[in-house]
Amino acid sequence: MPLTSPAVEVDHLRHRYGERVALDDVSFAVASGEIFGLLGPNGGGKTTLFKIVSTLLFPTEGTVRVFGDDVVRDPAAVRRRLGVVFQHPALDGRLTVEENLRHQGHLYGLSGRTLTGRIGEVLARVRVEDRRRDLVATLSGGLQRRAEVAKALLHRPELLVLDEPSTGLDPAARRDIWQDLSSLRRQEGTSVILTTHLMDEAAACDRVAILDLGRLVALGTPTTLTSAIGGDVVQVTTRDPQDLAGRVAARFGVRAEVVDGKVHIERDRAHEFIAELVESFPGEIDAVTFGKPTLEDVFVHFTGRRLAEGV
Amino acid sequence: MRRVLLACYTLWLREIVRFHRQRSRIVGALGSPLVFWFLIGSGLNRSFKGSPEMALQGGYLEYFYPGTLALIVLFTAIFATISIVEDRQEGFLQGVLVAPVPRAAIVVGKIAGATTIAVMQGTVFLLLAPLAHVRIHLLDVPALIGMLTLVSFGLAGLGFLVAWWLDSTQGFHAVMNIFLIPLWILSGALFPAAGAAGWVRGLMFVNPMTYGVSGLRWFFYDQALPGEPSFAVSLAVVVGFGVAMAAAGTIAVRRTR
């Protein structure tokens, strides 16, 4: 028996919007203190899952528990332990950063000197102290997201839930958010669950769940997921990829698929395989690349598609 | 309990601060009823006789004064609840909904904000009473403002209930105009029920706004006009309507997540 309940426990979760199935029998658990990523294309079901965990949506079937409390039966208990960061900052642009935080603090039962202290604390953590008296509307996107994180941290939540925390941010602002998240986990032991469609972001998580078309297709640490593919990933550029893929599969007895206009082959000892491949199909191959598999390749492996942005 | 009040307070305060930072709203909410009152009132002043027993010394401008007061709080209270739609669009509402706050506190805090804004506007109009030769006993003013608050609360509650289901401010304006104009016209604000056709009187009888207007008018005439509900009935309906709207709002918020 573990001493503490998992941060999040998702059990046979299903959700339908009318006829459309958004989540189809999804189960997994997020350990306490873990940074857990939900990776998938838009429409994969990760935002639906985010809304159910953050008590904004009733699931059609199945249960979700946050530190043992059920999100449907005991939403008030869940809400106290949860800090939520929305994709579109839930800050009031007509109020200053401090006024927004004060409003948030009051909603969580904080007031007076305690609240003032906490505001200073969270603003220092996300490095927005110098903008505290500015209207939120005058802040850049990156600063607004960080102020939003500060707002979510005000009541010292045990679990931070973030929806696409990097969307719309430049690389520097992304790094800043990640710096905040990892220092938070290190210093406070806060558990983090976030949704993303970015491979590098998912790769920075402790564990990743890949969601596609509402189903959980893979779950594990980024390393176990990529090593599960085995060997290397070879991509071949050619005039008729469909035709070549069929012949490569027949000739070498490997799985060869067309992904994004290229022939995609997972194969050990790629450097030797490539030499054979080029000799076998002289003049047909325009370019070959190979490398260690990434989470992108993991996604391709399980779904046969690329996880392109906006798909 | 302290937590609940703190949540109500902060939601209320935000409405006031936002209103204060959008000056155009103040002008809009007060300006148009004022123009309305002056033009309609002056236009109808000679034609409007009323019934002899009403003894309307000030003519129609006087009769129309409490009705205009009702119009001001009607417009201000209901349009202040448009902030629900704006909050939803801007994403702010979600942040409030994930907070560990009883849903009733969210509804009451929001409605209280809209109510305060409406009462402030109504009070400004009351200051103009001497200009309209409308006499109010100074001692009646606190009670009148109390009545104004109760009327505004119910109307803000109605606004909340409609705003909760809408996701565009244009939609809110469209829906509200369908509601607002009949609600106001058939409230005794514009004409007394006594002289109206039977079916109009029937509609006025079921219109909650009628009781708000008669409750307000009571302070100007010391007695109910013929065909208008008594003060006690008006007060009961106004309070009942406010409670019903707040309860319905809470149920709506709980149901939808």
Per-residue confidence at B223, pLDDT binned at 50, 70, 90? low
| Res B225: pLDDT | 67
The reply to whether residue A107 touches residue B257, judged by beta carbons under 8 angstroms, is no
Give me the domains of chain A, ranges plus CATH numbers.
8-225 (3.40.50.300), 231-292 (3.30.70.260)
What number is the average pLDDT over the span B155-165? 94
- The neighbour count for residue B14, using CB atoms within 10 Å, is 25
A102 to chain B, minimum CA–CA distance in Å?
A: 8
| pLDDT score of B126 more than 90 | no
For chain B, the domain total comes to: 1
**What does the DSSP 8-state code read for residue B257?**
-
Tokens representing residue A236 in the block: 């071949």
Strands, sheet with A8-17, edge to edge from the N-terminal-most edge strand = A20-30, A8-17, A61-66, A69-70
A106 to chain B, minimum CA–CA distance in Å?
A: 6
The reply to whether residue A79 touches residue B100, judged by beta carbons under 8 angstroms, is yes
Cβ-based neighbours of A64, under 8 Å, separated by 6 or more: A8, A9, A10, A11, A13, A52, A53, A70, A71, A72
Per-residue confidence at B222, pLDDT binned at 50, 70, 90? low
pLDDT for A84-135, tens place per residue?
999 887 899 999 999 999 999 999 999 999 999 999 999 988 888 899 999 9
A39 phi/psi in degrees, rounded to 5: -105, 140
Closest alpha carbon within chain A to B18 = A94
Query: Of A56, A77, A94, which has the smallest distance from its Cβ to B98's Cβ?
Result: A56
Question: What is B1-57 written as a DSSP string?
Answer: -HHHHHHHHHHHHHHHHHHHT-HHHHHHHHHHHHHHHHHHHHHHTTT----GGG--T
HEC string for B93-151: HHHHHCCCCCHHHHHHHHHHHHHHHHHHHHHHHHHCHHHHCCCCCHHHHHHHHHHHHHH
**What does the DSSP 8-state code read for residue B230?**
P
A264 touches A256 (CB < 8 A): yes
Whether A103 has its CB under 8 Å from any CB of chain B: the answer is yes
Chain A residues within an 8 Å CB radius of B257? 55-58
User: Strands A256-259, A262-267: parallel, antiparallel or unpaired by DSSP?
Assistant: antiparallel
The reply to whether residue A111 touches residue B95, judged by beta carbons under 8 angstroms, is no
Distance, CA of B162 to chain centre: 15
pLDDT < 50 regions, chain A: 1, 309-311
Query: Of B9, B21, B93, which has the smallest distance from its Cβ to A94's Cβ?
Result: B21
| Res A210: pLDDT | 93
| Interface test mutation site (partner A, options B19, B23, B255, B257, max chain A beta carbons within 10 A) | B257
B207 to chain A, minimum CA–CA distance in Å?
A: 36
Per-residue confidence at B237, pLDDT binned at 50, 70, 90? very high
d(CA B102, CA B80): 22
A110 to chain B, minimum CA–CA distance in Å?
A: 8
Amino acid residing at A89:
P
Tokens representing residue A259 in the block: 């992904």
Query: Of B6, B100, B102, which has the smallest distance from its Cβ to A111's Cβ?
Result: B6
Per-residue confidence at B257, pLDDT binned at 50, 70, 90? low
Count of alpha carbons within 13 Å of A117, Cβ hemisphere only? 7
Whether A86 has its CB under 8 Å from any CB of chain B: the answer is yes
Total length of chain A = 311
**Does residue B167 sit in helix, strand or coil?**
coil
Query: Of B9, B18, B94, which has the smallest distance from its Cβ to A90's Cβ?
Result: B94
Sign of the torsion angle spanned by Cα atoms A239, A241, A245, A247:
negative
Count of alpha carbons within 13 Å of A121, Cβ hemisphere only? 15
Cβ-based neighbours of B136, under 8 Å, separated by 6 or more: B126, B129, B144, B219, B220
A273 to chain B, minimum CA–CA distance in Å?
A: 52
Amino acid residing at A75:
P
The reply to whether residue B10 touches residue A92, judged by beta carbons under 8 angstroms, is no
Chain B residues within an 8 Å CB radius of A151? 95
d(CA A97, CA A91): 8
**Bridge partner list, A262:** A259
Distance, CA of A53 to chain centre: 14
pLDDT for B15-38, tens place per residue?
999 988 887 777 776 777 778 777
Chain B residues within an 8 Å CB radius of A55? 97-98, 257
| Res A1: pLDDT | 43
Chain A residues within an 8 Å CB radius of B97? 55-56
What number is the average pLDDT over the span B97-102? 94
| Res B48: pLDDT | 67
The reply to whether residue A95 touches residue B17, judged by beta carbons under 8 angstroms, is yes
A177 touches A169 (CB < 8 A): yes
Chain B residues within an 8 Å CB radius of A89? 91
Query: Distance between terminal CA atoms of chain A?
Result: 42
The reply to whether residue B90 touches residue A55, judged by beta carbons under 8 angstroms, is no
The reply to whether residue B2 touches residue A109, judged by beta carbons under 8 angstroms, is yes
Chain B residues within an 8 Å CB radius of A95? 14, 17-18
Question: Any idea what the Cα angle at residue B232 is, between residues B231 and B233, rounded to 5°?
Answer: 90
Chain A residues within an 8 Å CB radius of B101? 107
The reply to whether residue A107 touches residue B99, judged by beta carbons under 8 angstroms, is yes
Distance, CA of A16 to chain centre: 21
pLDDT for B39-66, tens place per residue?
877 777 766 665 554 555 557 777 788 8
ipTM for this model: 0.84
Query: Of A54, A95, A109, which has the smallest distance from its Cβ to B14's Cβ?
Result: A95
Q: Among A68, A48, A301, A59, which residue's Cα sits nearest to residue A195?
A: A48
Chain A residues within an 8 Å CB radius of B100? 76-77, 79-80, 107-109
Chain A residues within an 8 Å CB radius of B98? 54-56, 79, 82, 84
Total length of chain B = 257
A164 to chain B, minimum CA–CA distance in Å?
A: 14
Chain B residues within an 8 Å CB radius of A108? 99-100
Range of the domain at B215: 2-256
d(CA B147, CA A274): 86
A274 phi/psi in degrees, rounded to 5: -65, -40
d(CA B81, CA B87): 10
| Res B49: pLDDT | 62
B158 touches B107 (CB < 8 A): no
Which of B:88-107 have CB within 8 Å of A?
A: 90-102
Question: What is chain A written as a DSSP string?
Answer: --SS--SEEEEEEEEEETTEEEEEEEEEEE-TT-EEEEE--TTSSHHHHHHHHTTSS--SEEEEEETTEETTT-HHHHHHHEEEE-SS----TTSBHHHHHHHHHHHTT--HHHHHHHHHHHHHHTT-GGGTTSBGGGS-HHHHHHHHHHHHHTT--SEEEEESTTTT--HHHHHHHHHHHHHHHHHH--EEEEEES-HHHHHTSSEEEEEETTEEEEEE-HHHHHHHH-SEEEEEEES-HHHHHHHHHHHH---EEEETTEEEEEESSHHHHHHHHHHHSTTTEEEEEEE---HHHHHHHHHSS---TT-
A9 touches A64 (CB < 8 A): yes
Q: Among A96, A88, A83, A196, which residue's Cα sits nearest to residue A150?
A: A83
Q: Among B110, B115, B112, which residue's Cα sits nearest to residue B86?
A: B110
Chain A residues within an 8 Å CB radius of B93? 90
User: Strands A262-267, A35-39: parallel, antiparallel or unpaired by DSSP?
Assistant: unpaired
d(CA A246, CA B11): 64
